[in-house]
Amino acid sequence: MNKPYLDYVFLSRIASHALRHEPWLYELELDDEGWVPVEELLSALRAEKPEWSALKEADLAAMIANSDKKRHELHEGKIRALYGHSVQDKLLKQPAEPPAVLYHGTSPETAVLIRASGLQPMGRQYVHLSVDTATAEQVGRRKARAPVLLEVQAKVAAASGVAFYRGNDLVWLADQVPAQFIEFPGRLPR
């Protein structure tokens, strides 16, 4: 008998909601680093959709492997979202030495605000930065048809005391980034 089709994108969306934003809706308790036992998440997901009644840890591993961005991590019977949290209690991250330059994609209107006050988490726990322009542009397109790409002088900012944290291979996090460490394109709306 063939295994039914599993929509990994939809599964990832629901798992992200449970692990990043509203774990209490799924009766989950995240630890200080955002981990939850895999069996607890699986139980919550199975209750969410009848067609997920046979969901297993291997399905979560396949979800992670098939993702265009590494959003989740499995380790020793636990799972967590790597970044993007909006839960009230801030998850602990270990500071790390960032690459020389990171990027942030945003709308032209928001870029004007960032020029005045720097990058702020805006409802999330951390500012999200990309290691390459392609990823930053993809993120920026969620906010504007023609996004603005900002270049963050991360190494210089870190040397001045700005804390950076590794999210995954493509995403770095910061508590905030002052405007003095951000390079803006020449043409922004006024």
Q: What is the pLDDT of residues 140-167, one digit of tens each?
A: 887 888 899 999 999 999 999 999 988 7
Asked whether the predicted pLDDT for residue 57 surpasses 90, the reply is: yes
- Range(s) within the chain of domains with CATH label 1.10.10.970: 8-81
Cβ atoms 89, 27 nearer than 8 A? no
The Cα–Cα gap between 165 and 148 comes to 23
Give the contacts of 180 (CB within 8 A, at least 6 positions apart): 118
Query: Which CATH number does 102-183 carry?
Result: 3.20.170.30
What fold, for 8-81?
Arc Repressor Mutant, subunit A (1.10.10)
Asked whether the predicted pLDDT for residue 1 surpasses 50, the reply is: no
- Range(s) within the chain of domains with CATH label 3.20.170.30: 102-183
The whole-number pLDDT of residue 167 equals 78
Helices 8-16 and 57-65, packing angle to 10 deg: 100
- pTM (2 d.p.): 0.64
